[in-house]
Amino acid sequence: MKKNNSVKVAAVQLPCVRDVQENLNRTMAAIRKAASEGANLICLQELFSSLYFCQSEDHEQFQLAETIPGPITEKISSLASELGVVIVAGIFERRAPGLFHNSAVIIESDGTIAGVYRKMHIPDDPFFYEKFYFTPGDLGFKCFDTSIGKVGVCICWDQWFPEAARLTALAGAEILVYPTAIGWQAPEKDTFGESQLSAWQTMMRSHAIANGVFLVAPNRVGLEDNIEFWGHSFIADPYGNIMTEADEHGPATVSADCDLTLIETARTHWPFLRDRRIDAYDGLTKRMLDDE
């Protein structure tokens, strides 16, 4: 699609409450504000419309899921059309009875759905019991050609896997978006909190560098049961520089002007894609290289 070289990107960081409508109202207000300040691409956090329910295995939580399109995506689509912006929104997708995904919907500036990404890597850790709720994605790693540029999306746990970022970039992504819900558990924060936050940002900045793309990481914030979500939503350029960053203290919307011509500059000066040994990577399809 035709696009401008400069795109203003925004990441919305919000605390969530039990009331879905209240979360939706807060999010839509933040989208409006970001659009009024010139944002062309507005990125929402993972599962933005509810509390992070994966802290326990509770069948009642499946009632939060909805189809795509569904009531929430239809409201976000209508707002995208009204404001003329592209929106990436994290959704608890009900695909069929008993079949659910942790998904992101990419909504075009005319309100149409440009595509869906389904989270590929599903964690199962204390208070992150996502395997109980979500089927791993089966759409692969994708790039969506939108009116503002080529947008790739992965979700939260995907961010720890360089293969996911690489394949999304190879599909053509110029801007890589990671809707996220990550935070500290109280017993660990004093000892590991700073290093956990640093590792999170370092990993994603490395994706921006290795692939020569802009990267957007909208994270939720606030205390929900056992997890203190740490916020720090940020946007990085293709050199891994953090262009803008929120703090951990409350709601925020951070934005940055992304000059897409910088991708060409970064990739020609740091030619990682050029020098890939595609003839030597067969081992990546194995668990370990000593597998028969």
Over range 202-229, report the average pLDDT.
98
186 band by pLDDT with thresholds 50, 70 and 90: confident
Question: Does residue 222 belong to any structural domain of this protein?
Answer: yes
Over range 47-60, report the average pLDDT.
98
Count of helices and strands (H, E) across the chain: 5, 17
Q: What CATH number is associated with residue 196? A: 3.60.110.10
Residue 233's domain comprises 6-285
| Whole-prediction pTM | 0.96
Using a pLDDT cut of 90, give the percent of the chain over it: 96
Question: Does residue 276 belong to any structural domain of this protein?
Answer: yes
* CB contact at 8 A, 201 and 212: no
pLDDT at 227 over 90: yes
Over range 188-193, report the average pLDDT.
93
- Looking at the structure of the chain, the number of domains it has is 1
Question: Does residue 165 belong to any structural domain of this protein?
Answer: yes
Among the listed residues 56, 79, 59, 64, the one whose alpha carbon sits nearest the alpha carbon of residue 126: 56
pLDDT at 1 over 70: no
Q: What is the pLDDT of residue 16?
A: 98
Q: What is the pLDDT of residue 290?
A: 85
Over range 205-216, report the average pLDDT.
98
Question: Does residue 292 belong to any structural domain of this protein?
Answer: no
Q: Tell me how far apart the alpha carbons of residues 74 and 179 are, in angstroms, rounded to a whole number.
A: 19
Over range 163-171, report the average pLDDT.
98
Question: Does residue 260 belong to any structural domain of this protein?
Answer: yes
292 band by pLDDT with thresholds 50, 70 and 90: low
Question: Does residue 291 belong to any structural domain of this protein?
Answer: no
Q: Would you please indicate which residues are annotated as catalytic (active-site) residues?
A: 46, 119, 156
Q: Give 256-287 pLDDT, tens digit per residue.
A: 999 999 999 999 999 999 999 999 999 999 99
Question: Does residue 1 belong to any structural domain of this protein?
Answer: no
Question: Does residue 290 belong to any structural domain of this protein?
Answer: no
